């Protein structure tokens, strides 16, 4: 499935190929690459039935949507009517099947896309690795000895492997952007509240976003356009007008800066600390292509990251408190201890973290009065080995799992729109760079991303 979503939809709508043939090819490729362990459930029968229905509509001359015939898959925390929503857990296996599709799933289907299955993830979205005790590891398609990242690892890996051109994931502290970077695809986290989360099994309600993965900016933008719109099922999904994605690549008047993140209380630069040489080289390439002439400070970014941890742990543990009390041993060992620790956190810590969050948001709001786009690394390094437990960060050995979100967490904290764009340097595994804009200014990101793609700086390659 090396074609993009836009290319597939064009071929299906013009009759160059049928939706059925496209879906059959996707299902065949998925079945032949089971070692990637991207899918926890395949929906062959319904996918083929939906494709046949779409083909009949096209034959009858009916109007079809902009994603006509495009196979897609979703992280297994999205509700799919008739399917149990696992959220990467053993505990949810005993839940009844969902009675209706998540809003995001329904909107993609309404646009003509064909749902072919659901994808592996870290349990309850609490992780950056997609090493799941219940459903196994999803390895990186570019190197099977390495992780795909998480928690939306199946979503990123299936796009990188060319199994499907479009997937959905969720992002709390980096769960879209981290696997997108490690797998070498585009991963988009729109502004908090821009896309409906109704029917998605949340982890931390005040932080959670949903968003798409794809191998082209055009596919990301099209999915974003389709997914927009208010939703009464999700109280945080705002009633802001839909926007048409701007793919002109016109950067006239757009002020771009590189984040350094110097803290007044900690003598380090958060966003320039710890990155490996390939990440630094990728950042330099992006900076040159976008003609970055200034750096800026995201104040107290280390504290923002710590506060994001506290909020995540507290809200996640409260969501699962009853299950922690009654089914503790059924949790993935990698998530269980962190949930338990969050449940014991003093309420005063959570409240202080939320107060700091408001302060940090106000500081960043002031920064966006002088710049329009900020660039920063997505992860400090390329994909670690599957059995790797520690990594080096500025000469210090630190745990892998929490530190893959080192650069993403301060930005999730205040709901900014961010696109992780893929960079492949010669002889290296892919890395990612974040394009960050002010809230509800996704179009600035799209413009910059198109410039980078058109210049060949960013590219999402299908893994061999």
Sequence-ordered strand ranges (E) for 90-165: 114-119, 131-132, 136-137, 139-140, 143-147
- HSE-CB at 213 with a 13 A cutoff on CA atoms is 39
Active-site residue (options: 175, 196, 412, 420): 175
Question: For residue 143, what are the β-bridge partners?
Answer: 140
Active-site residue (options: 89, 148, 151, 204): 151
Active-site residue (options: 75, 109, 189, 447): 75
Question: For residue 154, what are the β-bridge partners?
Answer: none
Q: In sequence order, what are the residues at sequence separation of 6 or more whose Cβ sits closer than 8 angstroms to the Cβ of residue 366?
A: none
Question: For residue 98, what are the β-bridge partners?
Answer: 81
Helix (H) or strand (E) holding 48: helix 44-59
**CA proximity to 193, closest of 156, 240, 151, 243:** 240
Question: For residue 294, what are the β-bridge partners?
Answer: 257
Q: Has 420 been annotated as catalytic?
A: no
What DSSP string describes 195-241?
Answer: B--TTB--S-TTT-EEEEEESSHHHHHHHHHHHBS--TT-TTS--PP
Q: Please, are residues 297 and 262 in contact by the beta-carbon 8 Å criterion?
A: yes
Q: 28: burial class by Cβ within 10 Å (0-12, 13-18, 19+)?
A: exposed
- Dig out the tokens for 64 from the structure: 């079809």
Query: Rounded CA gap, 121 and 124, in Å?
Result: 8
- Dig out the tokens for 174 from the structure: 């980096």
Q: Please, are residues 349 and 311 in contact by the beta-carbon 8 Å criterion?
A: no
Helix and strand tally (H, E) in the chain? 15, 17
CA quadruple 181, 416, 438, 156: dihedral positive or negative? positive
Q: Has 205 been annotated as catalytic?
A: no
Q: Has 75 been annotated as catalytic?
A: yes
Q: Please, are residues 108 and 115 in contact by the beta-carbon 8 Å criterion?
A: yes
Q: Which residues belong to the active site?
A: 75, 151, 175
């Amino acid at each position: 499935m090396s074609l993009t979503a836009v290319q597939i939809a064009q071929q299906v709508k013009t009759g160059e190929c049928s939706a059925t043939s496209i879906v059959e090819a996707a299902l065949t490729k998925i079945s032949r690459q089971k070692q990637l362990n991207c899918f926890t459930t395949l929906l062959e029968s319904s996918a083929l039935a939906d494709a046949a229905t779409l083909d009949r509509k096209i034959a009858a001359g009916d109007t079809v949507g902009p994603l006509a015939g495009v196979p897609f898959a979703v992280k297994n925390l999205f509700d799919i009517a008739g399917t149990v929503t696992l959220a990467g857990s053993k505990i949810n296996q005993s839940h009844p099947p969902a009675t209706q599709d998540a809003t995001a799933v329904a909107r993609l289907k309404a646009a003509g896309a064909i749902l072919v299955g659901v994808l592996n993830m870290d349990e309850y979205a609490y992780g950056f690795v997609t090493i799941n005790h219940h459903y196994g590891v999803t390895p990186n398609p570019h190197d099977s000895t390495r992780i795909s990242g998480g928690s939306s690892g199946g979503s990123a890996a299936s796009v990188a492997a060319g199994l499907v051109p479009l997937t959905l994931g969720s992002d709390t502290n980096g769960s879209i952007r981290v696997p997108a970077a490690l797998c070498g695809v585009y991963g988009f986290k729109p502004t908090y509240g821009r896309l409906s989360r109704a029917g998605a099994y949340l982890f931390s309600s005040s932080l959670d976003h949903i968003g798409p993965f794809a191998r082209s900016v055009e596919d990301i933008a099209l999915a974003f356009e389709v997914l927009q719109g208010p939703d009464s099922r999700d109280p945080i999904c705002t009633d802001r007008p839909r926007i048409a994605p701007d793919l002109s690549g016109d950067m006239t008047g757009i002020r771009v800066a590189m984040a350094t993140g110097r803290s007044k209380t900690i003598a380090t630069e958060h966003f320039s600390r710890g990155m490996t040489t390939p990440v630094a080289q990728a950042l330099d390439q992006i900076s040159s292509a976008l003609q970055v002439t200034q750096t800026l400070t995201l104040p107290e970014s280390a504290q923002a990251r710590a506060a994001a941890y506290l909020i995540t742990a507290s809200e996640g543990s409260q969501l699962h408190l009853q299950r922690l009390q009654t089914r503790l041993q059924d949790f993935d060992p990698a998530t269980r201890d962190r949930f338990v620790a969050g449940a014991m956190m003093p309420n005063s810590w959570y409240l202080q973290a939320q107060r700091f969050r408001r302060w940090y948001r106000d500081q960043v709001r002031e920064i966006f009065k002088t710049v329009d786009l900020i660039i920063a690394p997505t992860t400090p390094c390329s994909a670690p080995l599957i059995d790797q437990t520690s990594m080096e960060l500025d000469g210090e050995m630190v745990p892998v799992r929490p530190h893959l979100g080192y650069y993403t967490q301060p930005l999730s904290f205040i709901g900014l729109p961010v696109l992780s764009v893929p960079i492949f340097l010669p002889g290296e595994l892919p890395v990612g760079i974040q394009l960050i804009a002010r809230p509800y200014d996704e179009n600035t990101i799209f413009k910059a991303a198109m410039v980078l793609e058109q210049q060949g700086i960013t590219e999402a390659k299908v893994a061999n």
